[in-house]
Structure 1
Amino acid sequence: MSNRQRTRAATLVGALTYACLAAFASGCSGLLPLGTAGAQQPPPTSQQASSAPSSQPTPAGSTTAPGGDTSTGTADYQLDRSGAAATSDNRSGEVDYAATSQYAIDILQNADRVWTAWFKAQGYPEPYVVLDLIQPGQSLVLTPCTSANGMPSSYPNAFYCDVSNGTDNGHIIIPIETLARMWSGDIFGTQVSDVKAVGDYAAGVILSHEFGHSVTAELAEDTGRTPMAKGKNKELIADCFAGVHTYALSLGTDGSLDPGDVDEALNALAAIGDQGDGGTDPHGTPAERKNAFQIGLYGSQADPRGGVPANCTKAFWPEFGG
């Protein structure tokens, strides 16, 4: 077992929500497999339609729910209906921060179910992470993740912070005003190049990316395999894992994507790619970030199956060896 203390508790402090994403994990085992016979294809982009696999082979190690039932029994997690429908006005300036927060929770709880099923299938402990949503007018102070003055809800970035002090799990930190701006294509202060392809999943892929960081941290701890991915690969593998999660969403068993959502994701990742050398904290060029996401979603040349985490580790985390 991991040395990290794991908790299911959810704590509300003022307007700042600490939500353990596995708070209802008693029903997680086997839910939302990464491959389902007869499921629809991952949504192609205009440039990648020909790259989508012609069938949906089940990724190695994925599972189905007990008895072969792929239903979660929680119909309120149709992502583009419970969260995005309520926040669609974010694009016109009529921002509903409560609905934006719910969308973040829905996406990340979904990611938790997807990755919990995979972790258990591999024989790893169930992954846990804490979501910190910084609400308007609030700030977060979390050592060592933020400065002593705190992080405001408009801070132009989102983070995964691996806090392992014996009392906390890793934290996904989402400034909610920053998240809401993504509906209009404003990704951390950079506007996407194609304004015709902006919307909710620009935010969704950033959330999935941050969860991807928690996946790598858990895998490193649970397997004892070090070092972690180096340089820009530590970001590209999170992009790739976001593609794995998007593949699962495309199956429609626990929430489905709308037409154009993949293009929104690619636009968002391209907008925050490195335009130069990336400096001391490289994240990958726009083309590299889009490619990493698509490897997770559609597969690689060596293994053209979508939703296979091993495609990501082989491409961006060779130190892991899996």
Structure 2
Amino acid sequence: MKWQGRRKSSNIEDRRGQSGGGFNFGGSGGRGGISPMLLAPLLKMLFSKTGLIIVGGLILVMWLTGTNPLALLSQFTGGPSTQMAAGDYKASPEEEQLAEFTAVVLADTEDVWNQLMNGYREPSLVLFTGQVNSACGNASAATGPFYCPGDEKVYIDLSFFQDMGRKLGAHGDFAQAYVIAHEVGHHVQRLDGTLERVQSKRGKLPEAEFNRLMVMLELQADFYAGVWAHHTQRINNSLEPGDIDEALNAASSVGDDRLQKQATGRVVPDSFTHGTSEQRSRWFKLGFDTGDVTQGDTFNARRL
């Protein structure tokens, strides 16, 4: 992706080196230590408490980091929280480059969605390390990138991008751009009311049926990421050969079926909350091919 020297968003909130505070967990499970059967109830508790939308889902995060799911859950269910300055935070040159890249991609999403959506309200993006406070609660880096509708901010610990490449094989800067654009897609859903409509069904539908709504929500965010890619190429001519393949690979890498298979050796479709590898890459590609937001109604699509 051609991004050096281009406009960076002013909607960046840099909290790197600060502490979300308040929690200290000593134990952690091994790689693949969470059962996919735990995913739906954990998401149910997390979503109702905080409204977090987490890229890849908790099963991805715990497989990547070996985090104890009960410890992670505890971060959202209470306890004191403070935010303290950590002094002079020194980022590596590689991390600083990632931070600059992230600001350029966010600016690109602003350019695109301001054109496509009347009255678009730009989200902020918070860079953090370790832990962070949000309107949705205290979150760990183990949560992965997420969007909080309570404060309309995207939260990212840049170390996630390294994990994507090292542990999921999702390499390349456009794979990273896909993650950012996906989270901004959830912001679009917040603005048009889709996110609130889905959240309102929590506890009113059988678990498997609500999980299916969550899949539709996530696939639509993938579609919106593809729409962004289509229009940022039209506006900025920023794509390079192989970029779309990087995004498609990243979308496929975080499919529920692939992650569950890697984590436990089996697949439980009723627990899916983000969609299969094939679905995620297909909806991203549809968004990229058409650039037409009206084509992304996953909730009424004949085929997910």
TM range (shorter): 0.5 to 0.7
Confirm or deny: 8 A CA contact 1:119 1:127 kept in the other structure.
no
Cα 1:141–1:294 change in 2 (3 A) is same
Q: CA RMSD in A?
A: 2.8
- Partner Cα distance (2:11, 2:243) in 1: 32
Tell me what 2:127 maps to. Answer: 133
Of 271, 285, 307, 2:276 maps to 285
Give TM-score scaled by structure 2 length: 0.58
Taking structure 1 as reference, are residues 259 and 161 closer, same or farther at Cα in structure 2, changes over 3 Å only? Answer: same
Check whether the contact 1:100–1:180 (CA below 8 A) recurs between aligned residues. Answer: no
Aligned to 2:100: 102
Shift of 1:231: 2.5
Cα distance change, pair 143–243 in 1 and its aligned pair in 2 (3 A): same
User: Which consecutive residues of structure 1, in runs of 5 or more, have no partner in the other structure?
Assistant: 1-7, 17-93, 164-168, 193-197, 299-305
SS of structure 1 residue aligned to 2:221: helix
When residues 145 and 317 of structure 1 are mapped into structure 2, their CA distance, relative to the original with a 3 A threshold, is farther
CA contact (8 A) 1:249 1:256 kept: yes
Structure 2 gap segments, 5+ residues each: 1-9, 19-91, 200-211, 258-266
2:191 is aligned, of 191, 207, 218, to 218
1:228-280: per-residue Cα shift (whole Å, max 9, x none)?
692201100000000000101222x3251110000000111111101123564
Give the AA of the match of 2:109: A
Whether the aligned pair in 1 keeps the contact of 2:215 and 2:272 (CA below 8 Å) is yes
For the Cα contact (< 8 Å) 1:95–1:180, is it kept in 2?
Answer: no
| 2:205 matched residue in structure 1 | none
8 Å CA contact 2:13, 2:125 repeated in 1: no
Q: Which digits, 9 at most, give the CA deviation of each residue in 1:130-159, with x for residues without a partner? A: 211114xx521224243xxx423xx26211
The answer to whether the 8 A contact 1:239-1:293 is kept is: yes
CA distance in 1 between counterparts of 2:143 and 2:105 reads: 20
Q: Indicate the structure with greater helix content.
A: 2
Q: Provide the residue aligned with 1:247 in structure 2.
A: 230
The Cα shift of 1:227 comes to 4.5
Q: Counterpart of 2:213 in 1: which secondary structure?
A: coil
Within 2, Cα distance between the matches of 1:104 and 1:172? 11
TM-score (norm 1): 0.55
> What is the alpha-carbon distance in structure 1 between the residues aligned to residue 248 and residue 16 of structure 2?
35
In structure 2, give the amino acid aligned to 1:230.
Answer: L
- Opposite residue 107 of structure 1, the aligned amino acid is V
Q: Which amino acid aligns with 1:283?
A: H
Specify whether residues 117 and 15 from structure 1 end up closer, same or farther in structure 2 by C-alpha distance, changes over 3 A only: farther
Q: Is the 8 A contact 1:244 1:297 kept in 2?
A: yes
Alpha-carbon distance in 1 for matches of 2:153, 2:294? 24
Change (3 A) 1:249 1:128: closer
TM alignment of 1:167-246, pairs within 5 A: 169-182=151-164, 185-186=165-166, 189-192=167-170, 198-220=171-193, 226-227=197-198, 230-246=213-229
From the superposition, tell whether residues 254 and 176 of structure 1 become closer, same or farther in structure 2 (CA, over 3 Å).
Answer: same
User: Could you tell me how far 1:190 is from its partner in structure 2?
Assistant: 2.6
User: Secondary structure at the residue paired with 1:282?
Assistant: coil
Higher relative contact order (CA 8 A, sep 6+): 2
